[in-house]
């Protein structure tokens, strides 16, 4: 059977994503090679290393030969061994350094995403349904504020308010140092520490989801099928559910894909401010330590994460919007 409908759609999207990832990998290589100066010196940062060691490193990391040779070597290492390079600052392979911190970031981001999407779309839908009321005005102003203020600024504000003045939440790290907690107490400790950094990310996210859902709801309510549903005598609550919401959430799903880049920035900022040991803070510490291999690896990880997230969102959207799923009129 011809590849129509969803299968065709999915295959096209996936191939495009894979191609993009490949291009990103190439770009990632060239950005760092474009640095004026000696890449090895940059990677080392330690002037005490002997000339022989340096030469060894040149060979080992495929820095000999022409740029093309180096490129091929880089691709080889990446695809055959999953080797993202070596961090001299931390004395460990980049992949290991990054992988050890990914779970903490995921913990933070996924929780934030769930809370923000649930609350944000709900509030946004109500605000859209009740456009023009006092409730609506308050919600937009607050959401616009939450959306515009950078995450690290919000993080610092929360740090001062909750950490310093109210003293409720711990202001840094993931666990209370030296406490040696286990089991349930450990989980509780982590959650307590997670509250503020997660909150900083959530704040921005909610702002955005409220705004997008509200706008989407307003657009939907202008449509003729809403009047048409009223002309059928359908109850208002049913109209909200079946006609308004069902159509209003479509753009909200798309937005989730675009958001990932913002989420990345938010994660970097929030983890840095609160010292949360994830890949966000890793960016900060790598910048401070001039640990370029790790930075390069992180860049790749984030870029791939964005492409993947966009792909997943595209596929989900393609599934829930009948105009794409069934594909085309008569």
Partner 1 sequence: MALLEVENLKIYYFTGKGAVKAVDDISFSVDKDETLGLIGESGCGKTTAVFAIMRFAAPPGRIVGGKIIFEGRDVLTMSGEEVRLLRGQGIAMVFQAAQNALNPVMNVGNQITEVIHEHEKVTKAEAWERARKQLELVGISGDRAKSYPHEFSGGMKQRVGIAIATACNPRLLILDEPVTGLDVIVQRQLLNLVNDLREKFRLPIILITHDLSVIAETSSKVAVMYAGKIVEQADAISLYKNPAHPYSKLLIEAYPSIKGEKGKLISIPGAPPGLLNPPVGCYFQPRCPAAMDICREAEPTMVAKDGHIVACHLYK
Partner 2 sequence: MSGLLKGLQDVRKFLKLLGTHKMGLVGVVIFVILGIIVIFAPYLRTVNPLRTGLYENILVPPNAQFWFGTDHLARDIWSQTLYGARIAFLVGFTSAGVTVVIGTLVGLVAGYFGGKLDEVIMRITDFFMMLPYLPLMIVFAAILGPSIRNIILVISIVYWPYTARVIRSQVLSLKERAFVESSRSVGASDRLLIFGEIMPNVVPLMFAEVVLMVTWAIYAEAVLAFLGLGDPTTISWGIMLNYAFNMGLMTYAPWWVIPPIACLCFTILAFTFVGTAVSDIMKPGYREARGL
For residue 113, state whether it binds partner 2 (rule: CB under 8 A).
no
Place of tokens 């310093």: 164
DSSP symbol at 276: -
- Site stretch for partner 1 (CB under 8 A), options 22-30, 82-90, 278-286, 319-327: 319-327
- Residue 269 burial class via C-beta count within 10 angstroms: exposed 0-12, middle 13-18, buried 19 and up: buried
Task: Name 268's Cβ contacts closer than 8 Å, sequence gap at least 6.
Answer: 280, 281, 283, 284
Q: Which stretch binds partner 1 (CB under 8 A): 92-100, 164-172, 279-287, 315-323?
A: 315-323
Q: What are phi and psi of 161, to 5 degrees?
A: -70, -55
The gap from C-alpha 26 to its chain's centroid, in whole angstroms, comes to 22
Q: Please give the helix or strand (H or E) that residue 86 lies within, else none.
A: strand 86-87
Q: Which one among 94, 159, 196, 201 touches partner 2, defined by CB under 8 A?
A: 159
- When the beta carbons of 189 and 269 are compared against partner 2, the nearer one is 269
- The residue (of 132 and 167) whose beta carbon lies closer to partner 1 is 132
Minimum CB–partner distance for residue 322 and partner 1 (Å): 5
Among 62, 90, 99, 163, binds partner 2 (CB under 8 A): 163
How far is 308 from 294, CA to CA, in rounded Å? 21
3-state helix, strand, coil in the chain (%, to 5): 80, 0, 20
How many residues touch partner 1 under the rule CB under 8 A: the total is 25
Q: Is the separation of the CB atoms in 151 and 201 below 8 Å?
A: yes
Contact residues for partner 1, defined by CB under 8 A: 223-225, 227-235, 238, 242-243, 246-247, 250, 321-323, 326, 328-330
Contact residues for partner 2, defined by CB under 8 A: 20, 23-24, 27, 31-32, 34-35, 141, 144-145, 148-150, 152-153, 156-157, 159-160, 163-164, 171, 260-261, 264-265, 268-269, 272-273, 283-284, 287-288, 290, 292, 295-296, 298-299, 302-303, 305-307, 310
């Amino acid at each position: 059977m011809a590849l129509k409908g969803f299968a065709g759609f999915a295959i096209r999207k996936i191939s495009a994503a894979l191609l993009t990832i490949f291009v990103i990998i190439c770009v990632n290589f060239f950005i760092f090679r474009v640095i004026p100066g000696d890449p090895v010196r940059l990677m080392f940062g330690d002037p005490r290393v002997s000339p022989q060691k340096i030469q060894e490193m040149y060979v080992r990391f495929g820095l000999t030969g022409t740029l093309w040779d180096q490129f091929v070597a880089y691709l080889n290492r990446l695809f055959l061994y999953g080797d993202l390079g070596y961090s001299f600052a931390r004395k460990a392979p980049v992949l290991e350094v990054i992988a050890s911190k990914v779970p903490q970031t995921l913990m933070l981001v996924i929780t934030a995403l769930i809370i923000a999407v649930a609350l944000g779309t709900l509030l946004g839908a109500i605000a859209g349904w009740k456009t023009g009321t006092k409730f609506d005005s308050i919600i937009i102003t607050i959401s616009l504020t939450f959306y515009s203020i950078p995450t690290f600024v919000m993080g610092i504000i929360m740090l001062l308010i909750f950490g310093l003045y109210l003293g409720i939440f711990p202001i840094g790290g993931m666990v209370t140092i030296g406490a040696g907690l286990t089991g349930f107490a450990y989980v509780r400790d982590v959650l307590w520490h997670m509250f503020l950094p997660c909150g900083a990310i959530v704040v921005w996210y909610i702002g955005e989801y409220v705004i997008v859902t509200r706008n989407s709801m307003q657009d939907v309510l202008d449509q003729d099928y809403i009047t048409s549903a009223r002309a059928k005598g359908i109850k208002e609550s049913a109209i909200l559910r079946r006609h308004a919401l069902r159509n209003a959430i479509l753009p909200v799903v798309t937005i989730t894909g675009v958001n990932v880049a913002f989420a990345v920035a938010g994660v970097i900022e929030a983890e840095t401010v609160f010292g949360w040991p994830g890949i966000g803070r890793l960016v900060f510490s790598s910048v401070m330590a001039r640990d370029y291999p790790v930075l390069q690896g992180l860049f790749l990880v984030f870029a791939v994460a964005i492409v993947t997230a966009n792909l997943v969102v595209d596929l989900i959207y393609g599934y829930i919007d009948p105009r794409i799923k069934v594909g085309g009129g008569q």
